Amino acid sequence: MARTVIPFGPQHPVLPEPIHLSLVLEDEKVVEALPTLGYVHRGLEMLAVKRDYNQMIQIVERVCGICSMIHSLCYCQGIEEMLGIEAPRRARMLRVVWSELHRLHSHLLWLGLFADSFGFESLFMQLWKIRERVMDLNEATTGNRVIVSVNVVGGVRTDLDEAQVRWIKDTLVEVEASIRSLQSTIMNDTTVCKRTKGVGVLTKQAAYDLGAAGPMLRGSGVAQDMRQLKYAGFDELAFEPVVETAGDCWARSTVRFRESLQSIDLVRQALDKLAPGDLAVKVKGKPEGEVITRVEQPRGECLYYLKGNGSTFLERVRIRTPTFANIPPLAAILPGLDFADVPVVVLSIDPCISCTER
Partner 1 sequence: MKMLPTVIANLFSKPATRNYPFFVREPFEHARGELINDIERCIFCGACARKCPSQCLTVTKDKTEGIWTLEFFACVGCGVCVDVCPVNCLSQKTTHRPVAVERAVITLRGKLPERPAKKDRPDSIEKTAE
Q: Which is nearer to partner 1, 317 or 349 (CB)?
A: 317
Distances (CA, A) of 43 to 37, 53, 60, 154: 14, 16, 11, 26
Shortest Å, Cβ 202 to partner 1: 26
Q: Which is nearer to partner 1, 5 or 140 (CB)?
A: 140
φ, ψ of residue 6 in degrees (nearest 5): -115, 125
**How many CB atoms lie under 10 A from the CB of residue 24?**
16
Q: Which is nearer to partner 1, 11 or 190 (CB)?
A: 190
Shortest Å, Cβ 15 to partner 1: 25
Distances (CA, A) of 124 to 146, 169, 281: 20, 25, 43
Q: Which is nearer to partner 1, 148 or 201 (CB)?
A: 148
Shortest Å, Cβ 167 to partner 1: 11
Shortest Å, Cβ 82 to partner 1: 20
Contact call for residues 173 and 102 (beta carbons, < 8 A): no
Shortest Å, Cβ 140 to partner 1: 4
Shortest Å, Cβ 135 to partner 1: 11
Q: Which is nearer to partner 1, 79 or 201 (CB)?
A: 79
Q: Which is nearer to partner 1, 157 or 307 (CB)?
A: 157
Question: What is the spatial distance between Cα 354 and Cα 357, in angstroms, rounded to a whole number?
Answer: 5
Shortest Å, Cβ 279 to partner 1: 12
Distances (CA, A) of 314 to 62, 63, 79, 252: 18, 17, 10, 37
Q: Which is nearer to partner 1, 182 or 319 (CB)?
A: 182
Shortest Å, Cβ 52 to partner 1: 9
The end-to-end CA distance of the chain, in Å, is 40
Q: Which is nearer to partner 1, 89 or 157 (CB)?
A: 157
Q: Which is nearer to partner 1, 144 or 311 (CB)?
A: 144
Sequence-distant contacts of 31-34: CB under 8 A, at least 24 apart? 31/3, 31/335, 31/336, 32/335, 33/330, 33/331, 33/334, 33/335, 34/331
Q: Which is nearer to partner 1, 22 or 58 (CB)?
A: 58
How does DSSP classify residue 338? B
3-state helix, strand, coil in the chain (%, to 5): 50, 15, 35
Shortest Å, Cβ 4 to partner 1: 36
Shortest Å, Cβ 206 to partner 1: 32
Contact call for residues 9 and 330 (beta carbons, < 8 A): no
Distances (CA, A) of 86 to 58, 285, 306, 308: 20, 14, 17, 18
Closest CA to 29 of 266, 337, 256, 311: 337
Binding site residues, partner 1, CB under 8 A: 51, 54-59, 62, 120, 122-123, 126, 129, 132, 136, 139-144, 147, 149, 157-158, 181-182, 184-185, 188-190
Classify residue 187 as left (phi > 0), alpha (psi -120 to 50) or beta.
alpha
Q: Per DSSP, what are the bridge partners of residue 155?
A: 152, 280
Bond into 298 cis (ω within 30): no
